[in-house]
Structure 1
Amino acid sequence: MKPGFADRYGPWALVAGASEGLGAAFAHRLAEHGLHLVLAARRAEPLAELAAALPTKTVTVSADLSTVEGLDAVTAATAGLDIGLVVANAAYSPIGRFVEMDPALTRRAVDLNCRMPLELAHRFLPPMVARGRGGFVVMSSLAGMQGSPPISAYAATKAFGAILGEGLWAELRGTGVDVLTCVAGAVATPNLAGAKARPAPGTQTPDQVARAALRGLGRGPRVVPGLGMRVSSALMSRLLPRRTAIAVIARASRDLTAP
C-alpha cells in the first residue's frame, strides 16, 4: 500500500466496468487503500454483491456505459463526491471475421472502448486539475499494438485508448494529476475464459494486473503487467516486422470464439 495513496487519489474512486474480473480486482485493491468506491457496470446484481464485500463506502450505478445516457447516470451518481481516481476499465470485444460481423457490434466496441474513456476524461479530469491532485487509469491491451484478427475492431479501439492515455499523461504533467495507460496481455477474466479454449502463456490474474497498474500510477505514462508480457510487447512492437507481428497475434487468437 502506497503511503498517502488515499490523500493523493481519494477519497472516492470511480471504477467503470466493475462487475467482475479486472474491475472487481481494482475495486478490492482501492478499498484496501481506504478509498470509497463508485462502481459502474450494466449488471446490477454483481455490482451489489461486490459492494457488499467491500469495507469502504460504495455507490453502485447500473448503466450501459456505451451510451450517453449511461455516462450521464455516472455523472449524476457522482455529483457532490470528490472523485480523486477514475479507472476506465469497461470494454467490449466482438469476435469474428469483420466482413461477416453485425456493424452494431463494432459500433458498440467503439462507443464503449473509445467514447467511454474519452467522456470520463472530459467529465472528471478538469475538476482534478482544479484541485491539483488525482489520477486516471486507461485500460488498454497488447492486442492494440498491432492488427489483431479476429478481434480487429477491439484491437483498434485499444490502440485509441493507449494513445489517449499517453497524451493526457504528457499534457497533465506538473498539474498533480497522474494519468496511466495499463497495457495488459491475456488476463484470466470470465470473458476470456468463455472465449478461449486454453489460457495463453503468461496469462495474468485480474489482481496481478490491478496491482501493477496501481503501482505504476504516478511513475510514467505506461505499464505492461508481467515480465512475459513486457517481453512480448517489446518483441511485437519494436523487433518484429509488422507482417510477422500480425501473423503471431493471429496464431495466438485462432481459438477465440464468441462466448
Structure 2
Amino acid sequence: MRADFADRYGPWALVAGASEGLGAAFAHALAARGLKLILAARRAEPLTALADALTTETVTVAADLSTMDGLRAVTDAAVGRDVGLVVANAAYSPIGSFVEMDPALTRRAVDLNCRMPLDLAHRFLPPMVARGRGGFVVMSSLAGMQGSPPITVYAATKAFGAILAEGLWAELRGTGVDVLTCVAGAVSTPNLAGAKTRPAPGTQTPDQVVRAALRGLGRGPRVVPGLGMRVSSALMSRLLPRRTAIAVIARASRDLTPPHTPTSPTG
C-alpha cells in the first residue's frame, strides 16, 4: 500500500499550512507513506521542529501564503522536484461582527483561503495532468455549507474551496489526477482550542481527519470525516430549512472568541 501510494502521488508532496494541527498530521501521514515533503507555513520554528521529527527528506518554506511573494516562495521551492500531491490546508478565520471588522482581515481570509488553493492548482495541476498521475486536496469546513456567523467570511471562503475542488474533480476525471475536498467539522487543533471555550460534540483529532481524507482520495469528489459530522452535514444541507440551518450554526459558534494571532479555528 505504501509503494502504491508513493507511485501514484509521489515522490514529493506539498503541504500548505503545515506547522501544526491538520497540516502536521498530513506531514506525518504522507511521510509514513514514503513521500518526500515540501512544508509551508508562516512560522519557521514549528516547521523546523516538524521537519526534524520526520523520517523523510523535507524542504521547509516559511512564508505568508496569503501574499503573492509567499506563494512564489512555495512554487520556487518546488522547482526541480516532482510534486505529485498538494494539500491546500492553510486557512485564516477572522472572528466577530462583520460590520465592526477591519477589512484588511477579511481580505486576508480571501487571499489565503481562496487565492492560495487556486494559485496552487494553476501551478501544480497542469504538470500532474501531463504526467498522468497526482492528487490535490482542498481542506474545507462544514461551516461553509451555510451562512456561519460570527465566522461569516471564513465560511464563505470554505464554500469556494469545496466547490472549486468538486469542479476540478469532474474536469480531471480520466486524467489520472485525483482531486478531493475534505469537509471537516470541529477538529481538535491548537487554533480551535484557542477560539472555543469548550469542544463541540463530535470533535475529531487531526489524525482522524487526515486518515479520512487520504482514504477518500481517488474515490470521489468530497469526504466528510466522522459519522456524526456526515449526519450533521446531511441534516444541515438537505433536511433543515435554510434559516434554521443558519440559526443552528450560529448557536454552535456563539462561544467563539477572536484569536490574538491570525489563525483559523479549523487549522
User: TM above 0.5, one fold?
Assistant: yes
What residue in structure 2 maps to residue 220 of structure 1? 220
Residues 33-48 of structure 1: matches in 2 within 5 Å? 33-48=33-48
**Whole-angstrom distance in 2 between the partners of 1:12 and 1:204:** 27
**Whole-angstrom distance in 2 between the partners of 1:37 and 1:43:** 17
What residue in structure 2 maps to residue 31 of structure 1? 31
Cα deviations by residue, 1:49-101 (Å, 9 ceiling, x for unpaired)? 00000000000000000001000000111100000000000000000000000
Contact residue 3 and residue 33 of structure 2 kept, 8 A:
no
* Structure 2 residue 193 is the aligned partner of structure 1 residue 190: no
What residue in structure 2 maps to residue 52 of structure 1? 52
Letter in 2 for 1:57: E
Letter in 2 for 1:144: G
Percentage identity across aligned positions?
88
Letter in 1 for 2:108: R
Residues 121-200 of structure 1: matches in 2 within 5 Å? 121-200=121-200
What residue in structure 1 maps to residue 262 of structure 2? none
**Whole-angstrom distance in 2 between the partners of 1:6 and 1:107:** 37
SS in 2 for 1:182: strand
What residue in structure 1 maps to residue 264 of structure 2? none
**Whole-angstrom distance in 1 between the partners of 2:258 and 2:30:** 31
**Whole-angstrom distance in 1 between the partners of 2:2 and 2:176:** 16
What residue in structure 2 maps to residue 89 of structure 1? 89
What residue in structure 2 maps to residue 65 of structure 1? 65
What residue in structure 2 maps to residue 107 of structure 1? 107
Contact residue 148 and residue 249 of structure 2 kept, 8 A:
yes
Runs (4 or more) in structure 1 with deviation over 2 Å come to none
> Residue 216 and residue 93 in structure 1: after superposition, are their counterparts in 2 closer, same or farther (change >3 A)?
same
1:2 offset after TM fit, Å?
A: 5.4
Contact residue 2 and residue 34 of structure 2 kept, 8 A:
no
Contact residue 145 and residue 237 of structure 2 kept, 8 A:
yes
**Whole-angstrom distance in 2 between the partners of 1:148 and 1:28:** 31
What residue in structure 2 maps to residue 13 of structure 1? 13
> Residue 3 and residue 76 in structure 1: after superposition, are their counterparts in 2 closer, same or farther (change >3 A)?
closer
* Structure 2 residue 231 is the aligned partner of structure 1 residue 231: yes
1:3 offset after TM fit, Å?
A: 5.4
Cα deviations by residue, 1:8-40 (Å, 9 ceiling, x for unpaired)? 000000000000000000000000000000000
Letter in 1 for 2:213: A
Cα deviations by residue, 1:221-241 (Å, 9 ceiling, x for unpaired)? 000000000000000000000
TM-score, normalization by structure 2: 0.96
* Structure 2 residue 206 is the aligned partner of structure 1 residue 206: yes
Cα deviations by residue, 1:127-173 (Å, 9 ceiling, x for unpaired)? 00000000000000000000000000000000000000000000000
What residue in structure 2 maps to residue 75 of structure 1? 75
Letter in 1 for 2:126: P
SS in 2 for 1:139: strand
Contact residue 84 and residue 135 of structure 2 kept, 8 A:
yes
What residue in structure 2 maps to residue 248 of structure 1? 248
**Whole-angstrom distance in 1 between the partners of 2:8 and 2:211:** 17
CA RMSD of aligned residues (A): 0.6
**Whole-angstrom distance in 2 between the partners of 1:105 and 1:56:** 36
